[in-house]
Structure 1
Amino acid sequence: MTFTRSLLIAIAAMFLMLTGCRRNSPEADFWQWFQKNEASLFDFERDQRAVFDRLSAEMHKVDPSLTFEFGPKQGGQREFVISADGVRAAFPRVVSLASSAPPLPRWKIIKFRPRREPADIQFHGVTVKAQSVSVEIHPDGEKAALTVLIPGYSASQRQTFGGIAFLFLDQALGEFDVETHVGNVDVRAPLPDDSNAIPLEALPRAFDAAVLKR
């Protein structure tokens, strides 16, 4: 087949047009935006609401379920936590977004909400102290089922206490383990014969031991 000069020029022009129109991935676009706005993000306290609104909007371009947390400034760095907000379908986006981050010396990028020392929770008008909560661990196939024992639990506020229980588990075990290694979760008031219950602060080690046995 013989190509004329004009045809070759047309093919080359079409190739350049197609490659020139090729878009970055949503992850790449996000990190470009992040780098442009790094100063305001690092010092977000100066205009927290506006900064958080813009950041949320940019993360939702990657996936509507994505959310974030910032850690305090420590040694000239901040933690930037990328979370799926407990939505399993968005877990791959958390991984791809975190993995595609460029070098950012002032930031520590963390996939999923990490384990933290449990703190008291106030939710829908109910306050529960972390030290008052205990947990039972039960086999549940490849996972571990949990019964969260909360003093003052009321069946009439089942949804509120259920939300509090998951917030405590999220603190103690981290987002990834709660969504991937926790099976059924029950919530109730403690009983005198709950001899197998352990304090919430002891849950991470006991949970890891239970899951690793499977």
Structure 2
Amino acid sequence: MKHGVKLIVMGILSLFGSKASASVEADFWKWFQKNEDMIFNFERDTENTFDKLSAALSKVDPELTFEFSPIRENGKREFVISAGGIKNSFSSVELLFNSAPEMKKWIIIKFRPRRSPLNDLNFGGVSIKSEDVYYNLYKDEDKLGIVLFFDNYNEKEHTTYGNLGYLFLDEALGEYDVETKLGFVEFHNKTSEYFDGAKPIKNLSKQVDEYYGN
């Protein structure tokens, strides 16, 4: 009898646990729709809007971040839900994306997508053109390891170039493929002994897709 009661209680907890989990995503989208005008026209008060949106997303998962597109010709904006490159938060992105309601003004995208052409980037006071970034690929068990080469890379600014490197990889491959298809990632100056045979980063997506057969 006690065993039966235990099973019933566990079942009830399971049901309430799933509802609680689902409500986190539902609550976000309710907040999003309630504040749709503010979010869609974020340029009116960018800092305040982004702070509020970040706070709302953090209730779903503290690692989640976002990107917006300009308003397209069809009058819509893209709203990109990103895990910030944190693989453990990919499931949070999937859950939030799958629970998104239909909205006339929005195209919801999960994970930072590939960009074509690649954008030039600026981070930490360092500006780099995409055409100046090169790479070499190496076998890394069942994945591909990559070395990115920059003109002015140096160890003192490793963190800055590292952030730029991952942003360029997201631009070239998309956030999901960076985390699931790449193994080791290193950053070198173009004076590196490994630079021989390096290719411009615009070629990276084609080479990775050919390797994985998609």
- Aligned-residue offset at 1:160: 2.4
What one-letter code is carried by the residue in structure 1 that aligns with 2:204?
Answer: L
1:41–1:157 Cα change, 3 Å? closer
1:29 aligns with 2:22: no
What one-letter code is carried by the residue in structure 2 that aligns with 1:134?
Answer: Y
1:131 aligns with 2:124: no
Equivalent residue for 1:179? Answer: 179
SS at match of 2:33: helix
1:189 aligns with 2:193: no
Equivalent residue for 1:80? Answer: 79
1:98 aligns with 2:102: no
Q: Could you tell me how far apart the structure 2 residues matched to 1:69 and 1:176 are?
A: 15
Q: Could you tell me how far apart the structure 2 residues matched to 1:39 and 1:161 are?
A: 36
Q: Could you tell me how far apart the structure 2 residues matched to 1:193 and 1:96 are?
A: 41
1:120-168 alpha-carbon deviations (Å, 9 max, x no partner): 2222232222111111111112211101111122233223222221121
> Within 5 A, what are the aligned runs for 1:27-176?
27-74=25-72, 75-116=74-115, 117-176=117-176
Aligned-pair identity in percent equals 44
Q: Could you tell me how far apart the structure 1 residues matched to 2:103 and 2:35 are?
A: 12
Q: Could you tell me how far apart the structure 2 residues matched to 1:205 and 1:193 are?
A: 21
Determine if contact 1:144/1:211 at 8 Å carries over to the other structure.
no
Q: Could you tell me how far apart the structure 1 residues matched to 2:139 and 2:154 are?
A: 26
What one-letter code is carried by the residue in structure 2 that aligns with 1:204?
Answer: S
Determine if contact 2:149/2:195 at 8 Å carries over to the other structure.
no
- Aligned-residue offset at 1:195: 4.2
- Please, which runs of 5 or more residues in structure 1 have no aligned partner? 1-18
Q: Could you tell me how far apart the structure 2 residues matched to 1:79 and 1:195 are?
A: 39
Q: TM-score, normalised by structure 1?
A: 0.83
Q: Could you tell me how far apart the structure 1 residues matched to 2:210 and 2:100 are?
A: 33
SS at match of 1:25: helix
SS at match of 2:107: strand
Determine if contact 2:77/2:106 at 8 Å carries over to the other structure.
yes
Equivalent residue for 1:9? Answer: none
- Aligned-residue offset at 1:176: 0.7
What one-letter code is carried by the residue in structure 1 that aligns with 2:44?
Answer: R
Q: Could you tell me how far apart the structure 2 residues matched to 1:180 and 1:125 are?
A: 30
What one-letter code is carried by the residue in structure 1 that aligns with 2:71?
Answer: K
- Aligned-residue offset at 1:193: 7.6
Bigger Rg, which one: 1
SS at match of 2:81: strand
1:193–1:185 Cα change, 3 Å? closer
Deviates more, 1:114-123 or 1:82-91: 114-123
Q: Could you tell me how far apart the structure 1 residues matched to 2:126 and 2:58 are?
A: 31
Q: Could you tell me how far apart the structure 2 residues matched to 1:120 and 1:152 are?
A: 15
Could you list the runs of 4 or more consecutive aligned residues of structure 1 that deviate by over 6 angstroms after TM superposition?
A: none
Q: TM-score, normalised by structure 2?
A: 0.83
What one-letter code is carried by the residue in structure 1 that aligns with 2:139?
Answer: P
- Please, which runs of 5 or more residues in structure 2 have no aligned partner? 1-15
1:34-91 alpha-carbon deviations (Å, 9 max, x no partner): 1111122111111222211111111111111111111111111110000111111111
What one-letter code is carried by the residue in structure 2 that aligns with 1:154?
Answer: N
